[in-house]
Amino acid sequence: MGIQERLIEDVGLREGVSRLNEDSIQKTVNAVFQGETGARLKAYAEICLRCGMCTEACHFYLSHDKDPTYAPAAKVKQTIGTLLANGGRASPDQIYSMAQIAYSECNLCRRCVHYCPVGIDTAYMMITMRRICHKLGVTPQYIQDTAHSHSATFNQMWVKDDEWTDTLQWQEEEARDEFPDLRIPLDKEGADVYYSVIAPEPKFRTQLIYQAAAILHTAKIDWTMPAEPGWDNSDMCMFTGDFEMMGRLKRKHFESAQKLKVKRIVMGECGHAFRSVYDVGNRWAGWKHYPVPVVHSVEFFWELLTQGKIKLVSKYPGPVTLQDPCNIVRGRGLGDKLREVIRILVDGEIVETASNREHNLCCSAGGGVINCGPPFKNARVAACKAKADQLRATGVKTIIAPCHNCHGGLDDTVHKYELGMDIKFLGDIIYQCMERPEA
Amino acid sequence: MYDIYNFVTGPLVWVSFAILIFGSIYRLGSMYALAKKKDAVSLAYMDWKFSFRSIFNWLIPFKALGWKKNPVLTVVTYVFHICLLATPILLSAHIIMIEESWGVSWWNLPDATADIMTILVIACCAFFAGRRLLQKDVRFLTTGQDWLILAIAALPFITGFLAYHQLFNYQVMVIAHVLAGNIMIAAIPFTRISHMLFAVFTRAYIGSEFGGIRKAKDW
Ligand code: SF4
Ligand code: SF4
């Protein structure tokens, strides 16, 4: 029991701590405490009652045989709490385990907030720990690679500028078999909709861009995609603790929309990117909300379907269950809209999981955890056991998950726990069921 | 003995209340100054409506998910806090003392009720202590300070109970009781009991974030 018995070898963490000593650690830790944190951290650290009410909130705890070291307050105690108690001093080995806890054993899902009587935000403490780790140069290798990609290319997946436009044109061409005059308009000034995606879409999931183009085209939306960097709305730097780069990313994203003078940004089915624009990156870059209106595709699809811009020729066969993505449901209150969209699309009922809406259990992939890569995969999927049990209990065959992270995480989960369920994006279903005027 | 009694019920009470009042002002003031200096990005989102919405919903027993999932703890927590605050304020012996020196008085609890409430506070403390010892996650979290505040909260009630029932040496017990009460009052701003001062604000803040930014409930 305890972090020492479950340490995972990761070259990023190992190399990172090899360059540290207690003095250098203390200097950096205290620079973050004194320079970047304030009353919030102080109050949280002081008034946490060690009551353990938050324990039952966390899927890591629930999935790991109630191992107390996975409880939210316990994770704080083993990271920020220890650093505060020791005046910022820690050994390189301690930093290794703290980094593992902060990066791979907390999804920043904030479910624990619903359990804490004094309103402590454990995710904030974990992200502060990650910030310290970033400044110490101790980051899991895989997620650091995406952060490097962000700083070099302004997208998460090392997609080169010509590859980006090539991919869009390729998808446009593919789609023209089905929709002869479909366009993916690039850099169109003054369009109603600027459609932005996360970099894994052009890299691995091009069919999602195809589907989005088909939907936007069918709904006769005046839309565009930017040809230049800024198109990627994702934000792994938010999760590594590289806040400087996070701010640059958000600025780039918004500026590319402002340059095109679009009316609003529609974001694809991704949760973390959405969090980054309304909650974290925008604030760092100095916007209280955001300079260009932003909607998530759940809201956008809701508009298209309720305004009759997309008509259906069939409905998706239900019953279905759904995965409420933390960042858009607990994080942005889209639970009702999501259900309305599903009711329009699905023939059959929505069988809710035992914890749902803002009380949902995280898919265990969010918060950058899935992005920490293969070394941490088994541990991540193990932490999804509680979720898998809830999904199995619904007895249905389809999970609707309007978020890339949830999708990726649940893919592994369905496989590991042999749930035999299909996982769908809303876009998959709309594309499959919509009326095609030109067909 | 009489001198000690006079001292603990006289100057020491003044000192304790002075520490409570000025200590609290200092703690709240410096925390606010720190928040203004370093947490502007958070303060900007504070919102009265959502602050009160959150506080209100968390005050209702079994409303928040945390209360629902910890039912026994919820009952104990409410009983504990109500008795802890109400008993000393509404105890006839305390009111009589205040009336003698200040000439003001207010409604008091029947002694038998106050006695039961005292026992409840002690029982709740025993429950909290039991949790700290026996429940794995809580044991993992517990620090010295948690035991300290538990003792600080329990002692005035234990000594008060013993004094009221004239168990052991009455005079010693009364003095111990007053002393324990003074310690408790003075400890509020500078121990974890400061959650009395700060929880309102942490709750208000998370309520504002959830209501205004995340458009979701935080209970
Ligand atoms: S994973 Fe979620 S519930 Fe668990 S500690 Fe992190 S924020 Fe809290
Ligand atoms: S519920 Fe809140 S106060 Fe209690 S241990 Fe968890 S974080 Fe601390």
Q: Closest residue of A to B208, CA-based?
A: A119
Assign B9 a pLDDT band (cuts: 50, 70, 90). Answer: confident
The closest-lying atom of ligand 1 relative to the alpha carbon of residue A60 is 4
The predicted model scores a pTM of 0.96
- CA A48 to ligand 2 center in whole angstroms: 5
Identify which of B137, B139, B206 has the shortest CB distance to residue A121. Answer: B206
Residue A437 has pLDDT above 80, yes or no: no
Scan for tokens 């858009």, then name that residue.
Answer: A328
Per-residue pLDDT, A252: 97
% of chain B with per-residue pLDDT over 90: 90
Residue A335 has pLDDT above 80, yes or no: yes
Task: Please state the rounded mean pLDDT for residues B51-56.
Answer: 97
> How many helices (H) and strands (E) would you count in chain B?
12, 0
Residue B10 has pLDDT above 90, yes or no: no
CB pair distance less than 8 Å for B141 and A71: yes
CB pair distance less than 8 Å for A39 and B34: yes
Q: What is the mean pLDDT of chain B?
A: 95
Per-residue pLDDT, B1: 74
Residue B6 has pLDDT above 90, yes or no: no
Q: What is the mean pLDDT of chain A?
A: 96
Identify which of A37, A77, A278 has the shortest CB distance to residue B38. Answer: A37
**What DSSP string runs through A362-398?**
P-S-TTTTGGG-GGGHHHHHHTTHHHHHHHHHH--SE
Residue B168 has pLDDT above 90, yes or no: no
Establish whether this prediction's ipTM goes over 0.90: yes
**Contacts of A23 by beta carbon, 8 Å cutoff, 6+ apart:** none
Task: Please state the rounded mean pLDDT for residues A354-363.
Answer: 96
Q: Closest residue of A to B32, CA-based?
A: A39
Per-residue pLDDT, A1: 73
**Contacts of A99 by beta carbon, 8 Å cutoff, 6+ apart:** A13, A16, A17, A129, A130, A133, A138, A139, A140
Scan for tokens 């650690």, then name that residue.
Answer: A25
Residue nearest to atom 4 of ligand 1 (CA): A58
Pairwise CA distance, residues A70 & A68, whole Å: 5
B interface mutation test: which of A67, A114, A276 has the most B CBs within 10 A?
Answer: A114
Identify which of B66, B140, B192 has the shortest CB distance to residue A46. Answer: B192
- CA A362 to ligand 2 center in whole angstroms: 19
CB pair distance less than 8 Å for A55 and B146: no
Scan for tokens 């013993």, then name that residue.
Answer: B162
Residue at B129: amino acid letter: A
Residue A63 CB: number of other CB atoms within 10 A? Answer: 21
pLDDT, tens digit, 9 for 90 and up, residues A159-214: 999 999 999 999 999 999 999 999 999 999 999 999 999 999 999 999 999 999 99
Residue A439 has pLDDT above 70, yes or no: no
Q: Which ligand has the minimum distance to the alpha carbon of residue B199? A: 2
Per-residue pLDDT, B8: 86
* C-alpha distances out from residue A238 to A82, A230, A280, A405, Å: 23, 16, 7, 15
Residue A124 CB: number of other CB atoms within 10 A? Answer: 21
pLDDT, tens digit, 9 for 90 and up, residues B111-142: 999 999 999 999 999 999 999 999 999 999 99
Residue burial A214-226, b: 16+ Cβ < 10 Å; e: rest? bbbbbbebebbbb
Determine the residue of A44, A50, A54 to mutate for testing ligand 2's pocket, defined as the one with the most ligand atoms within 8 A of the Cβ atom. A54
Burial of A154 (0-12, 13-18, 19+ CB in 10 A): buried
Pairwise CA distance, residues B187 & B130, whole Å: 23
Determine the residue of A106, A124, A329 to mutate for testing ligand 1's pocket, defined as the one with the most ligand atoms within 8 A of the Cβ atom. A106
Collect all residues of chain B within an 8 Å Cβ-Cβ radius of residue A51: 73, 138
